[in-house]
Amino acid sequence: MSNSGLIWWLGSINYFLTMTLGNGTHYIIIAFERYGADPRKRSIGNQMVSFACQCFIAHTVVSGSVFAGYLWFGPVGHVFGTLSVMVKAACGLAVCLAFLEHVLYKCLLVFCYYLASNIDEDFLGCFLKLFNLMVGALISAIHAILRIIYSDVYATLSGQEEIPRPK
């Protein structure tokens, strides 16, 4: 078996395992956080972990499908290459911001307990999720507009050595 055949089989097996077992595990974590032991105790930390799992699912579905399309059919073109890189950047940034906000909220609890205890955690969690997605999407869109998205991943997936420029 040649290297390309081995990579094709390993990539295909990885795709199906990630789509089933990986996303299934993330769905279980989200369901437990939302409906688990006491659904009224949805702390900021639990909401941010659930949000991170949702971002990982979105990244896996989009980028994994584009990579599987590349493995099975060859280069997928500019649009799907850009989409894959943008979703990876947006989800990665949103997850990093979520964990940073969780740490900052814990620091607020330690140093300003009275202020932090009066905050509605459901509202704050929802606001932070939307804020993180907006910031990640905005930065990814700015990179796409300024054509800064070029990377080795983009070059491999799209089959192009450089980003097409409008004339």
Mean pLDDT for 9-17 is 83
The CA distance from 45 to 30, in Å, is 13
**Terminal CA-CA length for the chain:** 45
In a domain, 60, yes or no: yes
Return the pLDDT at 149.
60
Q: What is the DSSP string of 67-92?
A: HHHHHHHS---HHHHHHHHHHHHHHH
Q: Which of 73, 72, 50, 53 is nearest to 61 (CA)?
A: 53
Domains identified in the chain, total number: 1
Return the pLDDT at 65.
87
Residues in the chain: 167
In a domain, 165, yes or no: no
Non-local CB neighbours of 155 within 8 Å, separated by 6+ positions:
161, 162
The CA distance from 125 to 43, in Å, is 8
What's the one-letter identity of residue 84?
A: S
If one compares 77 and 160, the residue with the highest pLDDT of the two is: 77
For residue 148, give its domain range. Answer: 3-158
In a domain, 7, yes or no: yes
The answer on pLDDT for 59 being more than 70 is yes
Return the pLDDT at 8.
77
**pTM confidence score:** 0.77
Return the pLDDT at 123.
86
Q: Are 44 and 105 in contact (CB under 8 A)?
A: yes
- Largest Cα span, the chain: 66
In a domain, 107, yes or no: yes
In a domain, 164, yes or no: no
The answer on pLDDT for 78 being more than 70 is yes
If one compares 32 and 36, the residue with the highest pLDDT of the two is: 32
The CA distance from 87 to 111, in Å, is 36
Tens of pLDDT, residue by residue over 111-166, are 888 887 788 888 888 888 889 888 888 888 887 777 666 566 666 776 766 555 55
In a domain, 163, yes or no: no
Return the pLDDT at 94.
87
The CA distance from 142 to 94, in Å, is 15
Phi–psi pair at 107, nearest 5 degrees: -65, -40
Return the pLDDT at 36.
73
